[in-house]
Amino acid sequence: MSEIAKLIVFDWDGTLMDSEARIVACLRAAIRETGLPGHDDGALRNIIGLGLREALRTLYPDEDESALETLVRHYRHHFLEADATPSPL
């Protein structure tokens, strides 16, 4: 006897869609806007997969919470509204 699946789970990011280039582009734009020192693409790719605040704290361990919150705000703006970097499927 076969059952109909009630739930199907997809691992979207990194499996069905590659958002790495978009994340790096948005991080670069946000870092530039906040005036913090930049990082190379390798360093930015290395923090992908961490939570956003943990990732930014890894990149900028000596910055205060206010600076990191500004960086979060700029990153979210770029990722959700401003960036047009394609995320290939």
Domain that holds residue 63: 20-82
Domain for residue 6, yes or no? Answer: no
Total domain count for the chain? 1
Which tokens go with 77?
């703006």
Q: Compute the distance between CA of residue 44 and CA of residue 50 in angstroms, rounded to an integer.
A: 11
Predicted pLDDT of residue 65: 96
Q: At what angle do helices 52-59 and 65-77 cross, to 10 degrees?
A: 120
SS3 17: strand
Predicted pLDDT of residue 15: 74
Q: How many CA atoms lie within 13 A of 29 on its CB side?
A: 19
Domain for residue 61, yes or no? Answer: yes
Q: What CATH number did the domain enclosing 74 receive?
A: 1.10.150.240
Sorted by sequence, the CB contacts under 8 Å of residue 18 that are 6+ apart come out as 87, 88, 89
Ranges of the chain whose pLDDT falls below 70? 1, 85, 87-89
Domain for residue 15, yes or no? Answer: no
Domain for residue 65, yes or no? Answer: yes
